[in-house]
Amino acid sequence: MITLLLDDEPFQLKLLEAQLRTLGVGNIIRHERARDALPLFDGDQHVVDLIFCDLQMPDMDGVEFVRHLARNHYSGDLILFSGENERILASVECLAQAHGLRVLGALKKPVSMERLKELIDLSLSSPESTPPAARGQSAYSLPVLESAYATEELEAAISGKQFVNHYQPRVEMATGRVIGAETLVRWEHPQDGLVMPDRFIPNLEYYGLIDDLTRIVLSDALEQTRVWRKLGWNLQISINMSTESLSAIRFADFVIGELGKVDIPGSSLLLEVPANIFEQDQRGLLDILTRLRLRQIGLSIHDFGIAEVSLAELQTIPVDELKVDRTLVRDARDDASLRLRVRNSLGTAKQLGVTAAAEGVETRADWDFLAASDCDIAQGYFIARPMPAADFPGWAAEWEAGQGRELDLAGPSDPESQTST
Ligand code: C2E
Ligand code: CA
């Protein structure tokens, strides 16, 4: 078995090689530049059986290299590794699988010996003779492949203002009142139509462009909030944040500046972040969060209940809301132990004295279960799908008139039903 290691950092290369040798892996080829490794994949007979590929390399990054492997019908195993966050690793993993490559897994640096051993064992037991297309266990097919928008196209979309915010209502369960809206961005792609965020956010994060999008989304959402406030609607607006954007040094200044421009109180803004925020360097983060807190800007953990977060961790940063993730609400429908988990998650919010919220509320039964579980705020297709700002007032008037829960939300009038997903 010949193993190829690709990483632009010589120290990381040496470290990984030493770890592999400890596990009994010999025949190792190392390259600091992906381009130098390309000749290994010329022609039909490839000598390499296993590749460890770093994602961020200056001459040719992991995504380009994966594409090259696919074009050359590489049939060995692939392990991706990176110092970047797990979401980016996961998105490149999906991309590689969509190309029909056999991805054994993704490793976060520094690489743990235990995980490394697991993957090596997997590689040794893999059926070499089976062609990758037959082995591919990918749940993803063409849509993910198409989702790999190139950096130039993403940059052009940002400068060409091709992104638009949709808004999904958030309702207070006790009263049924519409108290806020979550901002969900869509890309009005000139050829592909309305493109959903899961198809471009991971790429924007990967290419370091996510801050640019966050700024556009935030400014537009605050302007929209200003307009709604003028009409007498004091909605709290939620914005999705990548942890990287929140941690950016100048981010707090930017948010505070934007709020000032539209003259909106900080309490009208809620920033939604994933639970991986607890893995960040807490000192820098606390500085930013404290500044936001001083302006009453809220913070919500919007994938609550799926990742393990302890009460002690939750007390380290100023959180205002815990929102149970939609996948948990969905899976809890048919699983009593998961229903207990939802209840416990909502209970944790209560214990901390913060708002308990849930998303992915799709049915009357979901609503009733959450209402009985002490959930404060609900969001989901049962109430309404995300919609363009222009549709929001009409929808809200109907909802407040009491027809909301009887609406056929999956019907043809759904503004997002025509879109590509
Ligand atoms: P999220 O923050 O978990 O947002 C909720 C997602 O669930 C949205 O998907 C929404 O349309 C969908 N959803 C709402 N109610 C239901 C329901 O009842 N059932 C089901 N099955 N789904 C429901 P969407 O709009 O495709 O957004 C996907 C993800 O993209 C978001 O997940 C969020 O993480 C990310 N995202 C969206 N806008 C932005 C943004 O401006 N910046 C960043 N960084 N991420 C964003
Ligand atoms: Ca969210």
User: What pLDDT sits at residue 373?
Assistant: 96
User: For 3-125, which CATH superfamily applies?
Assistant: Response regulator (3.40.50.2300)
Ligand nearest to the CA of 387: 1
Q: Note whether 241 and 271 are within 8 A (CB).
A: yes
Confidence of residue 249 (pLDDT cuts 50, 70, 90): low
What is the rounded CA–CA span in Å between residue 55 and residue 9?
12
Average pLDDT over residues 118-140: 53
User: Fold for domain 151-418?
Assistant: TIM Barrel (3.20.20)
For residue 197, the ligand 1 atom closest to its alpha carbon is: 30
Q: Measure the N-to-C terminal CA separation of the chain; round to a whole number of Å.
A: 41
Encode pLDDT of 27-53 as tens digits: 889 999 998 899 888 876 678 999 999
The answer to whether domain 3-125 and domain 151-418 are alike in fold is no
Q: How far apart, in Å, are the Cα atoms of 45 and each of 2, 39, 76, 129, 133?
A: 13, 11, 11, 13, 17
Average pLDDT over residues 152-164: 95
Encode pLDDT of 78-90 as tens digits: 998 887 666 677 7
User: What pLDDT sits at residue 22?
Assistant: 85
For residue 379, the ligand 1 atom closest to its alpha carbon is: 15
Task: Report the chain's mean pLDDT, rounded to a whole number.
Answer: 85
Q: Which of 317, 312, 314, 263 is nearest to 293 (CA)?
A: 317
Ligand 1 center from residue 184 Cα (angstroms): 6
Average pLDDT over residues 275-287: 78
pLDDT at 391 over 70: yes
pLDDT at 215 over 70: yes
Ligand 1, atom 46: closest residue by C-alpha: 240
Domain definitions of the chain by residue range = 3-125, 151-418
Ligand 2 center from residue 274 Cα (angstroms): 8
